Each structure stands twice: as structure tokens, then as C-alpha cells.
Chain A
Amino acid sequence: MSGNLGRIARDGLWDNNVVFSQMLALCPTMAVTTSGTNGLGMGLATTAVLVVSNALVALIRRSVSSQVRIPVFVVLIATLVTLVDMSLNAWLHDLHKVLGLFIALIVVNCAILGRAEAFASKSGVLASTVDGIAMGLGFTGALTCIGLIREFLGAGTLFAQASQLLGPSFAFLEMRLPGYDGALLMILPPGGFAVLGFLLAARRAAEARRRAPAGGTLPQTA
């Protein structure tokens, strides 16, 4: 993996997006994306863990033998998650109340261990950090996107309670569609699956269209 940083960034943000392409970390994706704010908060918390864990794993990759690497990675990630959990509880208590359980579950977020295993343990510190940022932001983007769609369809709002997460100066993000109470189903789990399914279908259709020459047949994407 030569350090083509632009390529790494592109991979994380879109081409190899954690949710839309690797289809990893679907549990937090389904569970917390009931609103854009929750998705954003969860995404940023995961990104923080991912960046630091990627950097640390890359740093120690030569001194950890491959037989014990998984336990070492897990301890490392668990430590970071505990730090994030406590920090959120201390400084963003309201968000912590919403995300509560899922913050602790970042430790088993397969995307994080997956990046440690697939990328950071084989790459340099800089490349791993960039990969962590790109993957994390890609994940954040996906979660925020799903959260916004579900929130808009399900409750008629956008970024409700964003000021609690980002501070009062971000209250302008909060929007409300007047006269629309929302379709409750979109907030419930089926709404999450439906939104993710349609977004995946749209992504695949867009990619197929991009790859196919005009007028040609659509390629079969596996």
C-alpha cells in the first residue's frame, strides 16, 4: 500500500465507504440513525476512535507479533472507546443519553477492527491516520445522510436538537416542516432498513450508469 493519500481519502469517503460499500457497522447504522443529529454524533465519536486507533496500531505494528495482534488491537480500541464514552458523558451529556449504549459498542464496531487489521497494521502512521479520517468521515456522512432522511420523513424535522450536540451557535441547522407530523414507521427499524436499501440501490444504479457506455448494456455488479 503505497501512500497515495488522495486515493486513500477517496476510498474512505466514497469508493470503499464503510456503510455503502463495505456494508460494515450496520448495527449502529440502524440503531442510531433516527435523526440527523444522532447520526452525526455517533459518526464523529466513531471517527475519533478510528483515527486514534489507526494511528496507534500503525505505530506499534512492528512490535506486535501476528499471533497476539487481535487481542492487542481490541484492548487498544476498548481503551479509546472508554475515553470517548467518558468524555461524551462529561461534556455532551444529552447526546450521551441518546447514544448511551451504542458508544460503548463502538468497541465491537467491525469497521474499526477491520481498518486496524486490513489497513493500519500494514501501513505507515500518516497513511493510517488519513485512512482513519477518511473512513470515519465517510461513515459519519453515511450515518448523517440516513439519519436526515429518516428524520425528515419520520418526524418532519432536520437536525432537531443539533444545538445540544454542537453548541447553541448551530441552532440554525434545526429545521421543521410545518404541518407535517411524519410517518412514524421511518423512525422505527423498518424505516432504517428501507432507507439504507434504497440508498444502496441508488448508489449501485448510479455506478452502473457511470461505468456503462452510453446505450450499452448495464454491467452485472456482483
Chain B
Amino acid sequence: MSPPNGGGMGRTPEGAVPAEGPGVPAGAVLPSPHAHGGASVSRTMGLVMAALAPATLFGFWMFGWPAVHLFMMTLAACVLAEYGCQRLMGRRSSLGDGSAVLTGWLLALSLPPWAPGWIGVLGGAIAIVVGKQVFGGLGQNPFNPAMVARVVLLVSFPVAMTQWVVPVPMGSPGAPDFVHGLQITLAAPPLPDAIASASLLGHAKTELSRGADLAQVLGAAATPPHDWTGLRPGSLGETGALLLLAGGLFLVFAGVIGWHLPAAVLLGLAVPALVGHALAPARFLPADLHLVSGATVLGAFFIATDYVTSPNTTAGQWLFGLGIGVLTWIIRSFGGYPEGMAFAVLLMNALVPAIDRWLRPRILGRDRAGRPLALPGD
């Protein structure tokens, strides 16, 4: 999720101006509102980052120094790109609001942990330049910047973007130290066979294309582990699903995001997955694997809920979320790519203006079509 754009439900607009600052005489009375709830873009971003931190740290521990380096390089690229763009356009810098850092953070979570560093740098630049600043910056972008970058990278560099590794936790034998990690991130040597692995969704897709029976594939020893503990191959933001879920629930209870949208995404994915698996277990993955794999939890709580690129009304958010969930299931089950969350989010992002137009809240005193309500006694 990225920055709020002001309007919307349960969102405090950045309206209240403190009676201080350059050009404001001491004791000047400014237009209302005079009370400020303390909400700001940077505070929201900070809360989201705090919610992401446990899962990220878990990912760092699990995939070691290469993941840390990739993460740092992606964030740095985002911040530099944001600075460069605003410098070039002669605009006031908005680095302080933290939105660029958060974009980079979400992008880094969606990358393979041992991906070469240039993937992260290029992705960060694409996210900020093409995904955000081209449209006018904070609050103007129709598509989620991190997902734009992820899709561009995935389509452009399919090999580098699908090189998953089995976890080698920090401190365990064989885990790369700081310098070795830097070598992996910067020089991108070919991954040793012992470490290279498929993610569960990718493995299932490969086996399916060979005509294998999924029910047997899931029981086989060669299948990557798939459980909620997170010790399995995948991106940083995929494996720690439980921690991400905890972070997401924290955001819901902190009032940063509503519960409707994540619930809608999870439902939209789980229901077709349940039905599909019940009808043809050899063809479709079970629902729990869908929920724990790929970017499901990250997408539902942190990406789909981006204030800027999601609908404003509750009904719109349900529609938007269900659309993401169903599309994700369709792409995972029938598409060419094993994971479809990023594509689903972008596709539904494109519909947000239409959804917001169609599902406008009823105006007080008027019916849904905009006609005045009949007065009692008329």
C-alpha cells in the first residue's frame, strides 16, 4: 500500500494546518479545522512498515545476507529515483513521507531473495519513475507502483525472476556471510544446484504441464515444502505468511486499512479454490495452499489496500477485492505464469475509476439515481 490521497472512508485528510511555519505570523488564526488527529502520510507509511517488519526480518534470517543486500539496494533505488524525478521536474521533494521507501519495501518483498542486485535497482527505478512519478507522483498513480515494477521485471527477465532458493538461515552451515552475500547480489553467479529450487506454485505448474496428478505431486518428496511455518522457497513476502497475516491484522486494528478489502481478496481466492479442488483434486491446488503460497497474504493486506489505487466505497472495495482474488485463482490455475497476484492487482487497478463511478455513495436526501427523496407528508 502506498500513500493516502485524502478522500475516502475512515481516512483522515491532511487538512489541518498547524499555525506555524514560514510566512505565518505568530498567533495567526488559520482556517478550520483547528484540531488535528495526528494522521499524516508519513505516519501511515510508518505503521505499514512496522507491520511489515516482522515478516521482513524473518525473511532476512531465512535467506541470509543476499536478501538483505537486495532489499537495501531496492530501497535505495526507489529513494534515489524519487529524488531524481522531483529534482528534474522542479517539484518539492516528498521523500520525507516515506512512500518511496514503502514502495521499494513492497517490491523487494516480491522479488526472489537471491535475485541479482540490478533487478532490484531497475525495479525500484521503474516503480517510481514509470509507476508513480510519470503520473504526477504521490496519490496520482492509477496502478500500484510496486506491482508495475514486479510485472515489468517478470515479463522482461523471466529467468532471473523465477530463481528461488531453499532457505539457508543465517548462522546455519553453508549460509553466505556478509561479503559472500554481497558477491551473490552484485555478481549474480549461477546458483548451486543444492540451493536452487522451485516455489510451490511454480512446481505445481510445471508438474501439471507434464500431465502429472497434483494429488500425487503434493505428496511426493521432490515437492517443495508448503506449510505456514514459512521455511520454504519463495520470495521474502511469501514465506512468512503468518507474520504477514499478523502485520496485516495489526493494520486493520490500528485503523490504517479496512477489513473489507483483505477479506474480499482472501474470499475471492479461497472460494473458487475450494470448489475447484473439490471437483478436480488432480487439476487444482487445495485452497489452503493457495492462501499460504505466493503473494496472497502480502497482496490482500498490503498491496490491494493501497489507498491510491483501490476504490473508495465499501461496496467498491468488496468488488475490487473479490475481483483480485478470483483473477489470481484463474491466472494461477489456467495462466502461463505460476503466480498471478501482481497481474490481478494491476487488472483490477485499471477498473478502479469505473468502480468508483459506478458505486458512488448515495447523496444524503437523494436516492441512488440522484433524485430527491420524497418528503414525509408530501
Interface of A with B (CB < 8 Å)? 182-186, 188, 190, 194, 197
Measured between C-beta atoms, what is the minimum distance from B184 to chain A in Å? 19
Q: Which residues of A contact B166 (CB under 8 A)?
A: none
Whether B130 lies near A184 (C-beta < 8 A) is no
Q: Which residues of A contact B130 (CB under 8 A)?
A: 194
Flag whether B157 is at the interface (Cβ < 8 A): yes
10 extra interface residue pairs, beta carbon distance < 8 Å, beyond A186-B156, A188-B155: A182-B156, A183-B152, A183-B156, A184-B155, A184-B156, A184-B157, A185-B152, A185-B155, A190-B152, A194-B130
Measured between C-beta atoms, what is the minimum distance from A200 to chain B in Å? 11
Q: Which residues of B contact A186 (CB under 8 A)?
A: 156
16 contacts between A and B (CB under 8 A): A182-B156, A183-B152, A183-B156, A183-B157, A184-B155, A184-B156, A184-B157, A184-B158, A185-B152, A185-B155, A185-B156, A186-B156, A188-B155, A190-B152, A194-B130, A197-B134
By beta carbon, the residue of chain A nearest B90 is A218
Measured between C-beta atoms, what is the minimum distance from B347 to chain A in Å? 14
State in angstroms the CA–CA spacing of A197 and B130 once bound together. Answer: 10
State in angstroms the CA–CA spacing of A183 and B157 once bound together. Answer: 6
Measured between C-beta atoms, what is the minimum distance from B19 to chain A in Å? 30
State in angstroms the CA–CA spacing of A184 and B157 once bound together. Answer: 7
Per-residue 0/1 for B124-159: is the Cβ within 8 Å of any A Cβ (1 yes, 0 no)? 000000100010000000000000000010011110
Interface of B with A (CB < 8 Å)? 130, 134, 152, 155-158
Measured between C-beta atoms, what is the minimum distance from B157 to chain A in Å? 7
Measured between C-beta atoms, what is the minimum distance from B317 to chain A in Å? 28
Q: Which residues of B contact A188 (CB under 8 A)?
A: 155
Q: Which residues of A contact B152 (CB under 8 A)?
A: 183, 185, 190
Q: Which residue among B130, B155, B158 has the maximum number of chain A CB atoms within 10 Å of its CB?
A: B155
By beta carbon, the residue of chain A nearest B159 is A181
State in angstroms the CA–CA spacing of A184 and B152 once bound together. Answer: 9
Measured between C-beta atoms, what is the minimum distance from B92 to chain A in Å? 15
Measured between C-beta atoms, what is the minimum distance from B41 to chain A in Å? 26
Measured between C-beta atoms, what is the minimum distance from A211 to chain B in Å? 16
By beta carbon, the residue of chain B nearest A153 is B156
Q: Which residues of B contact A185 (CB under 8 A)?
A: 152, 155-156
Q: Which residues of B contact A182 (CB under 8 A)?
A: 156
State in angstroms the CA–CA spacing of A204 and B120 once bound together. Answer: 30
| 5 nearest A-B residue pairs (beta carbon) | A183-B156, A185-B156, A185-B155, A184-B156, A185-B152
State in angstroms the CA–CA spacing of A184 and B160 once bound together. Answer: 13
Q: Which residues of A contact B155 (CB under 8 A)?
A: 184-185, 188
By beta carbon, the residue of chain B nearest A186 is B156
Q: Which residues of A contact B157 (CB under 8 A)?
A: 183-184
Measured between C-beta atoms, what is the minimum distance from A155 to chain B in Å? 11
Q: Which residues of A contact B156 (CB under 8 A)?
A: 182-186
By beta carbon, the residue of chain B nearest A187 is B156
State in angstroms the CA–CA spacing of A188 and B134 once bound together. Answer: 20
Q: Which residues of B contact A194 (CB under 8 A)?
A: 130
State in angstroms the CA–CA spacing of A150 and B304 once bound together. Answer: 31
State in angstroms the CA–CA spacing of A183 and B130 once bound together. Answer: 15
By beta carbon, the residue of chain A nearest B89 is A205
Q: Which residues of B contact A184 (CB under 8 A)?
A: 155-158
Measured between C-beta atoms, what is the minimum distance from B310 to chain A in Å? 23
By beta carbon, the residue of chain A nearest B134 is A197
